[in-house]
């Protein structure tokens, strides 16, 4: 079986847990037997990325052509973070291109606004952090009040800790319930809410 490639794209001002939560889940999934490799990436080569609470992360490289692209949120209601990324336009363009090439794209929290700007949520159900729900309504086919929304090749998750549940759902969907349950047990995490889709 070919290994599934997953990339979590970082940018200055991303929310730490939006990226690191799914990263740990997917890495634990690989340890539990899922055929998946996960990298932290950026659009451009850089030594460090600074997250919204000051954590500095050294990425593994630049965005490639993953099977799964995870887009974290952070900073929609403030300067920087997602707001700056949307205004800049390069990451939404890259997300559109990866999706057009066949990648499954998933967002955590206000990362949904990057997917919205990329044109991926038009006519689709979606969710986000509560601070972005009103803005999301202008882009999504319908806003769903569930923790994770699975629309096949585009998935969205609610705020912050919902990214852990999103990654667990992806492990279950792609590699089976046994692997997802093993990771839940390892991480001492209990999923909550529901998955729409």
Residues tagged active-site: 109
129: closest CA among 115, 106, 108, 152? 108
Angle between helices 81-88 and 90-100 (to 10 degrees): 70
Q: Which residues of 146-183 are buried (b: 16+ CB within 10 A; e: fewer)?
A: bbbbbbeebbbbbbbbbbbbbbbbbbbebbeeebbebb
- Per DSSP, the three-state class of 149 is strand
The CA distance from 120 to 122, in Å, is 6
What stretches of 101-148 show up as alpha helix (H) in DSSP?
Answer: 112-117, 133-136
Give the C-alpha distances (Å, rounded to integers) separating 155 from 10, 18, 69, 107, 164.
18, 14, 10, 6, 13
Q: How far is CA 65 from the centre of its chain?
A: 15
């Amino acid at each position: 079986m070919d290994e599934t490639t997953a990339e979590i794209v970082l940018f200055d001002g991303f929310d730490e847990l939006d990226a690191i939560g799914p990263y740990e889940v997917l890495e634990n999934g690989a340890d539990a037997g899922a055929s998946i490799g996960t990298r932290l990436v950026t659009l451009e080569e850089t030594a460090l990325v600074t997250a919204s609470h000051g954590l500095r992360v050294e990425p593994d490289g630049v965005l490639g052509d993953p099977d799964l692209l995870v887009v974290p949120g952070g900073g929609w209601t403030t300067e920087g973070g997602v707001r700056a990324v949307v205004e800049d336009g390069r990451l939404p363009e890259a997300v559109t291109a990866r999706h057009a090439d066949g990648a499954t794209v998933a967002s955590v929290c206000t990362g949904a606004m990057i997917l919205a700007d990329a044109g991926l949520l038009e006519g689709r159900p979606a969710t986000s952090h509560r601070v972005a729900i009103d803005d999301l309504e202008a882009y999504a086919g319908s806003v769903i009040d569930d923790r994770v929304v699975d629309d096949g090749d585009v998935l969205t998750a609610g705020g912050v800790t919902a990214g852990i549940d999103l990654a667990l759902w992806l492990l279950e969907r792609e590699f089976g319930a046994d692997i997802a349950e093993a990771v839940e047990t390892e991480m001492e995490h209990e999923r909550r809410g529901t998955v729409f889709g």
